[in-house]
Chains A and B, each alone.
Chain A
Amino acid sequence: MAVNVAIRMYNVGFGDSFLVTVRRDSAVWRMLVDCGVHSHGRVKVNGVSRPIGKIVDRIIDDLRAEAAPGEPPHLDVVVATHHHQDHISGFAEEAWAEVDVAEVWVPFVEDPGDPDAVRLRSGLDDAANRLRSLIDSTSARAVANESKDDLRLALAFAVNSSRNAIATDRLLGRGNRRFRRPPSDVLVRYLPDTEAEANTIATPIPGVTARILGPSRDPAKLKRMDPPASVAWLQLADEHRRELDAGGPLFDPMYHVPPDDVSDRLSADAIKARNSMRLAALADDADELLAASSLLERSVNNTSVFFVLDVSGTRFLFVGDSQQGAWEHVLDDQRSRELVSGVAFYKIGHHGSHNATPKSFVHEVLGDDATAMLPWGLVKAWKDSIPKHEILEALEAHHTTVVRADDPQSAPPSDRAVLTIGPDDLWSQLEFTVA
């Protein structure tokens, strides 16, 4: 009996949202993987940024159209791969309250019942909040021109990791946020489970299972998920610096050269040397803040749920935004490696960035003639670095059909799946028939 698998990628911009529908005869199983957009990466329609609510409404409309008359829109599973804005911001929308969701899958770091997870998760939150306030306070002082780009980028990372509380609350049924059925009736899975067998999750459709391969729970690998240790130090430096600003000078003012006397008391050579060194940039920790923020960004990416949907041996790979380290955990394990070998579909990790799709995976594991989807939208600051053209070229070299969210029309035809493009380019869809 043939099974039909449809993977619909919504064009959110720089973010992810995938609706997976598996049908066998009259039996249907639906899973939504992520729903979010980066605050700098929303799609512009006629010059106006499209809010994520529009996409949420569209998803719910699509679900409603499929629901039996009188029944609410339904999802069997919602997966929130990791708690970045560009993957979960959509769940903050109140419209979700009318959608019936049976299961929610999140990474184990979200588990409020696991003390280690709580420590890690609150560490990440804490780092994000502190970095935001540090970047704010640094930006509030006079900042060197060359530091501005660094601070902007650092802020983008910190924002991406923070203020997703409403979305997280809904996913976990906390506060007054919820899906349609009472939170107590929603099964929340914190993945991977510590019990190995619980990481193979059956669906009601025979032959269709999800296999959870990551993130790692190995303490050695967890290091890549730890919040950056430098944040505490940066914060201390910031406090001291503010004390100095407020509480008097470093040396007795008699050692200062008053501004009016500078040209008299210092040689032209000294002033020239000072100017040519552009010392102002040293006064802010912009580069350190950027380094810490980018570490935080990577840490959260590496908490991504990494899984394969297995439909009678035909496999569909979803990796969230797993970066190097998270991938290693999968590729170094023989059984996991087999599961990701020769997959029919690959959700390209982290918007096609460097480090999120290992070269060795494309060249040695993925195989030829696969299909792939690239969830991507323009963020000006990253237009040259993401997606990494080397990755797209490597995929092309293996005849992978890559569908881009922003330009699905450009995808080459595939023997394995049928491409459909939705109205107003709101989504594109690959449909597979598994014998």
Chain B
Amino acid sequence: MLQDLNIPEVRPPGRRILRAFAFDPTETRLSGRYLSISIPFEPDLEPGPDGELVQVVDYDASQRVWYQPVDLDDPLLLAQDGLRPSESDPRSHQQVVYAVAMSVIERFQRFTGRRFRWSGNERLRIVPHAFYGRNAYFDPKRRAVLFGYYRADERDTEANLPNQMMFTCLSVDVVAHEVTHAIVHRVRPRFSYATNPDVYAWHEAFADLVALFHHFLFPEVVEEAVARSRSDLQKATALLSLAAEFGRSTGRGGPLRSAVGQPADAAAFTATDEPHERGAIFVAAVFDAYLETFRAQIADLRRLATGGSGILADGELSPDLVRRVTREAVSNADRILGMVVRAFDYLPVVDVTFGDVVRAVITADRDLFPDDAMRLRGHLVEALRQRGIFPPGVSSLADEALLWHPPVQPLSLCAGEHAIDLAQLIADSTMKLDPTGDVRITRFDDEDDDADDADEDDDADDDADDADDADDAAGPPRRRRAGSTIAADFYPKVSAWANAHAAELGFDPDVGRIRMIGMHVGYPTAADGQPRPMIVVQFVQRREDLEEGDNRQTRAQMIAGTTLIARADGMVRYLITKPLPLQREALIADLPAGVAKFADAQHAAGRRRYDAMREWFGLVEDDDALAVWLDEPAVNRLSFASLHSPTAGA
């Protein structure tokens, strides 16, 4: 017994390697290749797999049957990188969705400089065989990603056999895309409500972007493509061909394939309202920037390899060159994708447009990399411009013209009426950053949706808001975990501060409570290698006075929102507002001069935004054949399910 205690402990591994198709069963059959996906090793992974962030629930509603859950901690599976993926073994499907979901989440986490948690510390459910059907989608109400399976027919040219069963959950692209929708919903829950055509287009674009760049996460895949490209290295055909593979077997890549790598047409973007097409144009622009930067990055390697001539000889590339070029391609993908992911904190709370995305990308990147030494930002702005994507009304595409605005007069979370002491929040966030700390044991919950919980307690009579939040954040039924009161403590303080500074934040001081729906501290790393702590707060104000219809639960909501970005000392650096018109314009006259000017501009912008939303709701209504029969506004019927449905618009 005693001697047992003296045996040195074996430390658990840091990573778990799991196999998946590369990037779907059809391609794997042609290439014989599997992906090895490396994800963090979860020590207490239950069969399912059922982990800390993701719960795979393999119940098939069409067949009304449970499939045997895979136990990835089975020593036999640990010894062989999980099951060998097979279409006929549902357990390997569970493994694929788990592995891809975890790798997408980990990558996102790496870019944002903070721990990723789902709202309320709940897990995302993944149902790999949810139903018979040619669809897969993120369902916010069920807090789940649902995958369908279907029998191929003669139209499925990608299928190997007619009548072959196709599993959407086996496509790495589809899984990455859908999980990204869930992540976007986590950080901007209000983007699941389409208040303009760009809102869903942005959801789509970002999900595609992450899924597309996921192909560049696997050096062995990139290496093979680079080696194949031989002397065409400069044209980057290898990377283009990797992108072209995207979504091939699922048909999801359709609009993308027609945009990515194609010559830019600035008119195409303004000409379409269709979310997939607009999204695809954005993705294509980001990919242009990626290629442009990549070419610049490998210029020195080419010179070295060609003795300065720049002309590569025909035949195989040197394996050393292939490896170095691959490394550039992979890290460049991280740089470009990271630039877009970091922009999330700088996005408005509601009603996002691609113009806002451009501003957010620029502002976020400039804060960290003021000199843009690698010209990443320059390439991206130029690529977006060439495809017609820039904020309306800007007179220049210089950084300064595209940055978000600071408050008109100094504003601090830690000063003035209802000043907040941020120390506790910052300490808490810092502790959570420690990757060896066990957040489940310390039960420091993530902030955002606990704020909603606090709201529920705080204002029980506001039933419509709460019902709505439950929908947005968690879905039924809501399981509360005991734990941190940090957020609950902060919610009333920050809300009180916001209500005291309504006009300065772009809200109407007269009508509707201002609610905090998210607050976090992030530590992105800047060009000098130092972290830049930042505090991001999301506020909303529902304006029932501007809504139409009798049923306040179901009518189209009018929400004003402001994202506030502050330094760790509480000084507000940016206000990203989506205002609505003031109910009483006369109140502007009573405000201090600086604030009055701001409020006046917000009022005018609010009026434009209100009119635009009304017009958009009308268009959605006109387009919906069910609008005639149902009382609920048609915009409430827009969902990711209908967005992804093969019969959409048919």
Contacts and interface: CB of A to CB of B under 8 A. Distances in A.
A350 interface: yes
Interface stretch (A101-109, A196-204, A234-242, A305-313): A234-242
A266 B129 CA distance: 16
Contact of B628 (A249, A250, A323): A323
Interface stretch (A59-67, A118-126, A269-277): A269-277
A130 to B, nearest CB: 14
A230 B198 CA distance: 26
A250 B128 CA distance: 13
Interface stretch (B9-17, B47-55, B99-107, B231-239): B47-55
B67 A251 contact: yes
A418 interface: no
Interface in A232-277: 233-234, 236-237, 240-241, 243-244, 249-252, 255-257, 262, 265-267, 269-270, 273-274, 276-277
A283 B631 contact: no
Interface stretch (A19-27, A29-37, A291-299, A400-408): A291-299
A277 B650 CA distance: 28
Interface string B468-498: 0000000111000000000000000000000
A266 B66 CA distance: 9
B228 to A, nearest CB: 36
Given A241-B62, A257-B65, A282 B131 contact: yes
B396 interface: no
B309 interface: no
Contact of A273 (B55, B60, B642): B55
Nearest to A157: B629
Size class of A's contact patch? 35 or more
Contacts of B60: 250
B47 A237 contact: no
Contacts of B630: 385
Interface residues of B, number: 56
Contact of B476 (A230, A276, A280): A276
Given A294-B629, A356-B628, A278 B66 contact: no
A386 interface: yes
Interface stretch (B143-151, B261-269, B349-357, B374-382): B143-151
Nearest to B628: A353
Interface stretch (B218-226, B438-446, B618-626): B618-626
Contact of A251 (B90, B130, B150): B90
Interface in B6-47: 46-47
A153 interface: yes
B61 A256 contact: no
A320 to B, nearest CB: 14
Contacts of A382: 629
A298 to B, nearest CB: 4
B68 interface: yes
B505 to A, nearest CB: 34
A192 interface: no
B57 A277 contact: yes
A354 interface: yes
B428 interface: no
A15 B642 CA distance: 32
A298 B647 contact: no
B125 A277 contact: yes
A244 B62 contact: yes
B69 interface: yes
Interface in A131-145: none
Nearest to B163: A240
Given A277-B125, A280-B61, A282-B130, A153 B629 contact: yes
A243 B642 CA distance: 26
B67 A257 contact: yes
B165 interface: yes
A147 B130 CA distance: 16
A355 interface: yes
A250 B59 contact: no
A285 interface: yes
Given A267-B48, A356-B628, A229 B63 contact: no
Interface in A403-426: none
A356 B629 CA distance: 12
Contacts of B48: 267, 270
A237 B476 contact: no
B46 A267 contact: yes
A67 B330 CA distance: 89
B133 interface: yes
A324 interface: yes
Given A153-B629, A282-B146, A355 B65 contact: no
A270 B68 contact: no
21 contacts: A237-B133, A237-B150, A240-B150, A250-B165, A251-B89, A256-B65, A256-B67, A257-B65, A257-B67, A262-B66, A267-B46, A267-B47, A269-B55, A270-B50, A273-B55, A279-B131, A282-B146, A287-B641, A295-B625, A385-B628, A385-B631
Interface of B: 46-48, 50, 55, 57, 59-69, 88-91, 125, 127, 129-134, 142-144, 146, 149-151, 153, 165, 475-477, 621-622, 625-631, 641-642, 645-647, 650
